[in-house]
Amino acid sequence: MDVLDKIKAPIAAEMEQFNEAFRQMLYSDNPLLEKVAEHLLKSTGKQVRPMLVLLSARMAGEVNPKVISVALAIELLHTASLLHDDVVDESDRRRGMPSVNALFSSQVAVLSGDYILSKALECTAQTEDLRVLHHISKLGQTLSEGELRQLDSKESDTLSEGAYFDVISRKTASLFSTCARLGALVAGGTEADAERMAQYGKLIGICFQLRDDLFDYGTAEVGKPVGNDMMEGKLTLPAIYAVNYKGDASMHDLALKVRRREASSEEIDRLIDFAVSEGGLDYARWHMKDMQAMANGLIDDTRNAVVTQALHQLTAFVAERTL
């Protein structure tokens, strides 16, 4: 049994129910949409977000049909945002496979994203819970704001850790936080329970993104080419830290060139090597370890022992994963 199977163990039956419902929600009798859905279902990722919804629900109470609808709504919203992001970033790969915009077209990707977003709204409505509507509406706004802030940062001449953390808090951590909050709320947890889980979700969401960013520096084989983020004009924490810490004007100019997508592959390799040699990866790992410890401190170890163990395993997985 691998680590993800161990994490899923307390919610294995509910995950099967979620996966079947997710396939049904993507179904369409439109031939083109059906082809897109078939492609998306070939790689559903690690499913950390639905796992977090269900584990949070089990921590607060029991998984009910509304909890499944919440998990579906958030995963569908996330899927739609990825389709749109790949168009914005002109990405041709997603999870080691061709992106929808590369395989079909940007028009198909945008319209498919719109369709999947409407299915997310349908799942939200099925909960008949205004709290769910409020938080998922806010989540959609936050994701869009994060993408816009990332685009806007490309016009700046400064490299700011604060701006980096602001973007990943909006683009990644907000999803994890909403998963954990709504899982607890819809299962019958108190507002205090939900807030505690939301903070836990935010912290592991940041860890998840930091770990993902480290893969771009050649730290693991994950179907993600080394330097892929930089090819798309994205500067992540290791490079930002190394450039600011060293104070090298030439590397600062190179980093800005990378962000404007004007750098050659050789120049990107040079910035990667610089970030590694100047301790950028160790700095990012230090942040992950710090947030991992804070996240574990938010888990209520007095409750369901099996779910508590799964949450601790989830924390370790997002910060230490090699896939």
Q: 123-134 pLDDT, tens per residue? A: 999 999 999 999
Q: Is the pLDDT of residue 15 over 60?
A: yes
Q: Is the pLDDT of residue 237 over 50?
A: yes
Closest CA to 274 of 294, 253, 299, 297: 253
Please check whether residue 113 is in contact with residue 104, taking contact to mean a CB–CB distance below 8 angstroms: no
**pLDDT interval class at 232 (50, 70, 90):** confident
Which of 22-26, 96-100, 190-194, 220-224 bottoms out in mean pLDDT, i.e. has the lowest? 220-224
Q: What is the mean pLDDT of residues 18-41?
A: 92
Positions of E strands within the chain: 93-94, 97-98
Residue linked to tokens 């294995």: 12
How far apart, in Å, are the Cα atoms of 59 and each of 26, 48, 79, 85, 302?
29, 16, 26, 33, 10
Provide the 3-class DSSP secondary structure of residue 64: coil
Residue linked to tokens 């977000």: 49
Which of 7-16, 90-99, 177-186, 295-304 bottoms out in mean pLDDT, i.e. has the lowest? 90-99
Q: How far apart are CA 100 and CA 84, in angstroms?
A: 10
Looking at residue 224, what is its pLDDT? Answer: 53
Domain boundary assignment for the chain: 3-320
Q: How far apart are CA 239 and CA 47, in angstroms?
A: 28
Please check whether residue 268 is in contact with residue 292, taking contact to mean a CB–CB distance below 8 angstroms: no
Looking at residue 223, what is its pLDDT? Answer: 44
How far apart, in Å, are the Cα atoms of 16 and each of 8, 109, 224, 295?
10, 27, 28, 27
DSSP 175: H
Closest CA to 229 of 253, 219, 289: 219
Query: What are the tokens at 183?
Result: 């899982």
Q: Which amino acid is at 77?
A: L
CATH class, range 3-320: mainly alpha
Task: Give, in degrees to the nearest 5, the angle at Cα 235 between 79 and 266.
Answer: 115
pLDDT tens digits along 245-300: 988 899 999 999 999 999 999 999 999 999 999 999 999 999 999 999 999 999 99
Q: Is the pLDDT of residue 222 over 60?
A: no
Residue 93: what are its φ and ψ, rounded to 5°? Answer: -135, 145
Task: Give, in degrees to the nearest 5, the angle at Cα 105 between 101 and 109.
Answer: 55
Please check whether residue 262 is in contact with residue 169, taking contact to mean a CB–CB distance below 8 angstroms: no
pLDDT tens digits along 147-178: 999 888 888 889 999 999 999 999 999 999 99
**pLDDT interval class at 225 (50, 70, 90):** low
Looking at residue 221, what is its pLDDT? Answer: 42
| % of residues, the chain, pLDDT over 70 | 97
DSSP 188: T
Q: Is the pLDDT of residue 23 over 80?
A: yes
Q: How far apart are CA 97 and CA 113, in angstroms?
A: 17
Q: How far apart are CA 19 and CA 21, in angstroms?
A: 5
Q: Is the pLDDT of residue 220 over 80?
A: no
Task: Give, in degrees to the nearest 5, the angle at Cα 235 between 172 and 75.
Answer: 20
Provide the 3-class DSSP secondary structure of residue 63: coil
Instruction: Kindly report whether the global pTM for this prediction surpasses the value 0.75.
Output: yes
Q: How far apart are CA 114 and CA 120, in angstroms?
A: 10
Residue linked to tokens 């579906």: 72
Q: How far apart are CA 44 and CA 24, in angstroms?
A: 14
